[in-house]
Amino acid sequence: MENNLDIFQKDIGYKFKDISLLKNALTHTSYAYENKVKSYERLEYLGDSILEFISSKYLFENFENLSEGEMTKVRAYAVCEDSLYKIALKHNFSDFLYLGKSERATNTDKKAILADTVEAVIAAIYLDSKNIDLVQDFILKNIKEQIEFASKNVGVKDYKTVLQEKLQIHGEVQIKYNIIKEEGPDHDKTFTAEVECDGKKLASGSGRSKKNAEMEAARKAINLIS
């Protein structure tokens, strides 16, 4: 793992002076618990705030045509779990994660873990460099494309609206969303939502917020009825 971190640093374009910060950023709670070390959770918290600030600043300075509400929508798309997950895949984060035996044995979808780790690495770069410009370089290099796409499609209807229009094409129907499951600690929950039409279950989806879970359920329902 020690030598592999050289590969990781080269890939993300930043060389750490304090390698322990990078190790911390890549340490999942399962490994931390089994080995009595710190997990990336505190770094993730800081990284989330840095990511929001940098993306907000970039939008404010470069997209004068967007309203406050539109900038919020674009930012939400650019820094959502899916976007962060794609960054993790691009830089092969999964090859360098410190996961506990219990987590490795589950073979579950580690999408949320990888997204969280990206935020933790952002914080680690900031703490190691004490240079917000270097952090900004890393962030924008990885999310600028998503921002450009979202800024051009900010008026596109969301999945819940599209589903409603499809289901009501022949008349009024009752569409209802239910949160059927909540997993994880309060600061790191995953929600599962289910969408039904006139009492008939259509699809379910998961997300890091109730809104995202409902949106994912709507997306899956659209694919089923299209």
Q: Does pLDDT of 12 surpass 90?
A: yes
pLDDT per position as a tens digit, 80-115: 888 899 999 999 999 999 999 878 777 555 888 999
Amino acid at 44: E
**Residue 134 shares a structural domain with residue 218:** no
Q: Does pLDDT of 61 surpass 70?
A: yes
- pLDDT band of residue 1 (cuts 50, 70, 90) is very low
189-209 mean pLDDT: 93
**Residues 155, 90: Cα–Cα separation, whole Å:** 28
Give yes or no: 119 in active site: yes
**Residue 61 shares a structural domain with residue 145:** yes
**Residue 186 shares a structural domain with residue 87:** no
pLDDT of residue 161: 84
- Residue 176 structural domain: 159-225
> Where is the domain boundary, 152, 181, 200?
152
**Residue 25 shares a structural domain with residue 99:** yes
Tokens of 177: 């969303």
- pLDDT band of residue 156 (cuts 50, 70, 90) is low
**Residue 94 shares a structural domain with residue 187:** no
Give one DSSP letter per residue of 74-141, joined into a string.
Answer: HHHHHTSHHHHHHHHHHTTGGGT-B--HHHHHH----HHHHHHHHHHHHHHHHHHH--HHHHHHHHHH
pLDDT of residue 151: 87
> Where is the domain boundary, 129, 152, 175?
152
**Residue 218 shares a structural domain with residue 115:** no
Among 44, 48, 116, 194, the active-site one is: 48
**Residue 141 shares a structural domain with residue 165:** no
**Residue 190 shares a structural domain with residue 132:** no
Sequence-distant (≥ 6) Cβ neighbours of residue 221 within 8 angstroms: 163, 195, 202, 203
**Residue 143 shares a structural domain with residue 181:** no
Q: Does pLDDT of 76 surpass 50?
A: yes
**Residue 181 shares a structural domain with residue 75:** no
What is the count of structural domains for the chain?
Answer: 2
41: domain CATH number is 1.10.1520.10
**Residue 146 shares a structural domain with residue 170:** no
Among 119, 194, 214, 216, the active-site one is: 119
> Where is the domain boundary, 110, 132, 152?
152
217: domain CATH number is 3.30.160.20
Q: What is the mean pLDDT of the chain?
A: 90
**Residue 63 shares a structural domain with residue 127:** yes
- pLDDT band of residue 205 (cuts 50, 70, 90) is very high
